[in-house]
Amino acid sequence: MLISREMVLDQDIGLNGTLFGGDMMARMDMVAGITASLMSRNRRFVTLKVSELIFHSPVRPGEIIEFYATISRQGRTSLTIQIEVQVYAPVTDSHRDVTSGEFVMVAVDGEGQSESILWKPEAIQEANRAHETRKARQAGRKIPG
């Protein structure tokens, strides 16, 4: 599901004239945290693990980036979230893959100890539906209903 849409500004740009990788990682981490919160009734999540982070193509100032999240695993105290970042060009109504990565987020209590996740089933269903719709659209298939 689409979690956020942001614009890249001059101040976000690194030495190569493109978005600094650490900036992108921070944005993805924030999106992973937001996603975990949207899917549950827990107050706090921490990032346990980031894997398969791939920068597919650079992002330039003025470009709009979209963050999509898919729940790939629901555990007892953790969830695994696949984050895909794309540049969206409104003029051509087109997308370009820029970054993807997998984030494991753990629910923690006030002492920082892991705690059970109180899932919001309707939010999970909505996220799964959004994922299927997006994949079908990308594959060029018509969505029923």
Ligand X SMILES: CC(C)(COP(=O)(O)OP(=O)(O)OC[C@H]1O[C@@H](n2cnc3c(N)ncnc32)[C@H](O)[C@@H]1OP(=O)(O)O)[C@@H](O)C(=O)NCCC(=O)NCCS
DSSP H helices in the chain: 21-38, 121-138
Of the candidate spans 11-19, 36-44, 63-71, 105-113, the one that interacts with ligand X by CB under 6 A turns out to be: 105-113
d(CA 121, CA 142): 26
Nearer CB in complex with ligand X: 33/61: 33
Q: How far is the CB of 136 from ligand X (least distance, A)?
A: 29
DSSP H helices in 16-120: 21-38
Instruction: Name 70's bridge partners.
Output: 82
Judged by CB under 6 A, does residue 112 bind ligand X?
A: yes
Q: How far is the CB of 105 from ligand X (least distance, A)?
A: 9
d(CA 94, CA 90): 7
> Which residue's Cβ has the minimum distance to ligand X?
75
Judged by CB under 6 A, does residue 43 bind ligand X?
A: no
d(CA 55, CA 84): 10
Nearer CB in complex with ligand X: 48/64: 48
d(CA 21, CA 17): 12
Judged by CB under 6 A, does residue 39 bind ligand X?
A: no
Number of residues this chain uses to bind ligand X (CB under 6 A)? 13
Q: Which residues bind ligand X (CB under 6 A)?
A: 46-49, 75-78, 104, 106, 108, 112, 114
